[in-house]
Amino acid sequence: MQDWPGLIEAYRSWLPVSDATPVVTLREGATPLIPAPVIAERVGRGVKVFLKYDGLNPTGSFKDRGMTMAISKAKEAGSEAVICASTGNTSAAAAAYARRGGMRAFVLIPDGYVAQGKLAQALLYGAEVLAVQGNFDRALAIVRDVADRYPVTLVNSLNPYRLQGQKTAAFEVVDALGEAPDWLCIPVGNAGNISAYWMGFKEYRQAGHSTVLPRMMGFQAAGAAPMVLGHTVEQPDTIATAIRIGNPVNKENALNVRKESNGDFMAVTDAEIIDAYKLLGQGEGIFCEPASAASVAGLIKRREEVPAGATVVCVLTGNGLKDPTTAIENNDATFHTGIAPETETVAKVMGF
Ligand code: F0G
């Protein structure tokens, strides 16, 4: 088997890179498309469900796809530092790729609202972390301002290279299925990823790699659902901290995706997100982070509308290990503590 070279090399002709681009890669991409029979059963009527498990990227989220591009292009332009605002995953990816490329990484995070694993990553990769007393939207406004005025490259999804890298996930889905799916279910926060997937599906079909385009179904947490409500949410709130965003910067793009793909946006409650999160773990053996489970929660909520026999891909954007706290606080496990270290006791607790 040949080594996977990372997505820039694998999809070079589809990306705005040249021989002059120093490729900064951790061999991201080539994540598995995993059949989900238990979820398919829940949807019924012969619908086939697959999970695009992007939590298996090097820093544990789909952000690596965008970051290999953003950092390579920043390096090509001679940049020595990058900056982002983040609910956690972008900061982890920016930190890892910036350091890999020999650059400084400044990351602004909403103080107290970033999952433990993500904070650990940014720190360990050597980012300069600024926890601001405000939400993601506020932090993003600040980094835009800083990047305008100082010599530091913005690597949020406003950076066009981010979406270029992220569109490769759509290529991989089509490569794996041999056709585009009928529906793509995806969590939506800043609305960059849904825009990137759509670009990827369109480009691939244009080139004859698929004949259909999916309906793009974007799911937001009910407490942070500006795309569903049609207006900014001042105080977004959800257990899915990754998508705790009230004013998505890519909203215009995303509205266009809805229109072009005959798609939709819908809110799922935190309770629905946690049900899907647990179902993925217990039913499919897949541990994703809460925000990612919004895609499956959404599919289950809208299952009646999926055509019989259709193929659906749900995007699992981040790894469950990112947020151990939510898993420990939300599970149906039998967890016996303080067990005496004796065979007898153990067997008894086991019910023998
Ligand atoms: N899922 C996860 C795990 C995320 O981290 C994000 C965004 C999304 C979904 C939504 O993607 O913003 O492109 O619509 N996380 C950003 C961050 C905001 O800072 O890590 P989107």
For the segment 89-118, what is each residue's pLDDT rounded down to a tens digit? 999 999 999 999 999 999 999 999 999 999
Q: Please report, rounded to a whole number, the percentage of residues in the chain having pLDDT higher than 70.
A: 100
Could you tell me if the CB of 292 is within 6 A of ligand 1? yes
pLDDT band, very low/low/confident/very high, at 2 (cuts 50, 70, 90): confident
For position 213, what pLDDT does the model report? 98
Across 208-219, average pLDDT? 98
Same fold across 7-60+162-329 and 63-159: yes
Pocket lining: 327 vs ligand 1, CB cutoff 6 Å: no
Query: What digits encode the pLDDT tens for the residues 278-328?
Result: 999 999 999 999 999 999 999 999 999 999 999 999 999 999 999 999 999
Instruction: Please give the distance, rounded to the nearest whole angstrom, from the Cα atom of residue 265 to the centre of ligand 1.
Output: 16
Question: What would be the CATH architecture of the domain defined by 7-60+162-329?
Answer: 3-Layer(aba) Sandwich (3.40)
Say if residues 226 and 247 touch (Cβ distance below 8 Å). Answer: yes
Q: Does any ligand 1 atom lie closer than 6 A to the CB of residue 87?
A: yes
Output the pLDDT for position 352.
Answer: 96
> Is 140 a pocket residue for ligand 1 (Cβ < 6 Å)?
no
Could you give the CA distance from residue 52 to residue 66 in angstroms, rounded to a whole number? Answer: 16
Q: How far is the CA of 271 from the centre of ligand 1 (A)?
A: 19
Determine the atom of ligand 1 nearest the C-alpha atom of 166: 13
Ligand 1 atom closest to the CA of 84, numbered from 1:
19
Rounded to whole angstroms, how far apart are CA atoms 300 and 276? Answer: 8
Domain residue spans of the chain: 7-60+162-329, 63-159
- Ligand 1: centre distance to CA 337 (Å): 35
Count how many residues are written for the chain.
Answer: 352
Q: Residue 156 pLDDT more than 90? A: yes
pLDDT at 62: 98
Tally Cβ neighbours within 10 Å of residue 279: 19
| pLDDT tens-digit series, residues 244-284 | 999 999 999 999 999 999 999 999 999 999 999 999 999 99
**pLDDT of amino acid 253:** 97
The 3-state secondary structure of the chain, one letter per residue: CCCCCCHHHHCHHHCCCCCCCCCCCCCCCCCCEEECHHHHHHHCCCCEEEEEEHHHCCCCECHHHHHHHHHHHHHHCCCCEEEEECCCHHHHHHHHHHHHCCCEEEEEEECCCCCHHHHHHHHHCCCEEEEECCCHHHHHHHHHHHHHHCCCEECCCCCHHHHHHHCHHHHHHHHHHCCCCCEEEEECCCCHHHHHHHHHHHHHHHCCCCCCCCEEEEEEEHHHCHHHHCCCCCCCCCCCHHHCCCCCCCHHHHHHHHHHHCCEEEEECHHHHHHHHHHHHHHHCCCECHHHHHHHHHHHHCHHHCCCCCEEEEEECEEHHHCHHHHHHCCCCCCCCCCCCCHHHHHHHCCC
Ligand 1 contact, 193 CB (< 6 A): yes
Residue 165, pLDDT score:
98
218 touches ligand 1 (CB under 6 Å) = no
* CA-closest residue to ligand 1 atom 15: 242
Residue 318 Cα to ligand 1 midpoint, Å, equals 9
User: With helix as H, strand as E and coil as C, how does 76-143 read?
Assistant: HCCCCEEEEECCCHHHHHHHHHHHHCCCEEEEEEECCCCCHHHHHHHHHCCCEEEEECCCHHHHHHHH
Is residue 238 within 6 Å of ligand 1 at its C-beta?
no
Stretch 77-96: mean pLDDT, rounded? 98
Q: 90 CB less than 6 Å from ligand 1?
A: yes
How far is the C-alpha of 274 from the C-alpha of 17, rounded, in Å? 40
The one-letter amino acid code at 176 reads: A
pLDDT value at residue 230: 98
Task: State in Å: Cα 57 to ligand 1 middle.
Answer: 14
Of all protein residues, whose CA lies closest to atom 11 belonging to ligand 1?
189
Best of 83, 89, 144, 322 for a ligand 1 pocket test (most atoms within 8 Å of beta carbon) = 89
- The dihedral built from the CA positions of residue 152, 157, 158 and 163, taken in this order, carries a sign that is positive
Q: Verify whether ligand 1 is closer than 6 Å to residue 291 (CB atom).
A: yes
Question: Residue 242 Cα, ligand 1 centroid: separation in angstroms?
Answer: 5
- Cα–ligand 1 centroid distance for 32 (angstroms): 19
**Four-CA torsion 176, 177, 179, 185, nearest 10 degrees:** -100
Distance CA 179, CA 184 (A): 12
Tell me the pLDDT band of 52, cut-offs 50, 70 and 90. Answer: very high
Dihedral sign for Cα 192, 198, 204, 210, please: positive
Span 7-27, pLDDT tens digits? 999 999 999 999 999 999 999
Give yes or no for a contact between 163 and 192, defined as CB atoms under 8 angstroms apart. yes
CATH fold group of domain 63-159: Rossmann fold (3.40.50)
Rounded CA Rg of the chain: 20
Residue 1 has pLDDT above 80, yes or no: no
193 C-alpha to ligand 1 centroid (Å): 8
Looking at the predicted structure, is the pLDDT value of residue 217 above 80?
A: yes
Rounded Cα distance, 163 and 136, in Å: 19
Q: Report ipTM (2 d.p.).
A: 0.99
Measure the CA–CA gap between 150 and 99, rounded to whole angstroms.
20
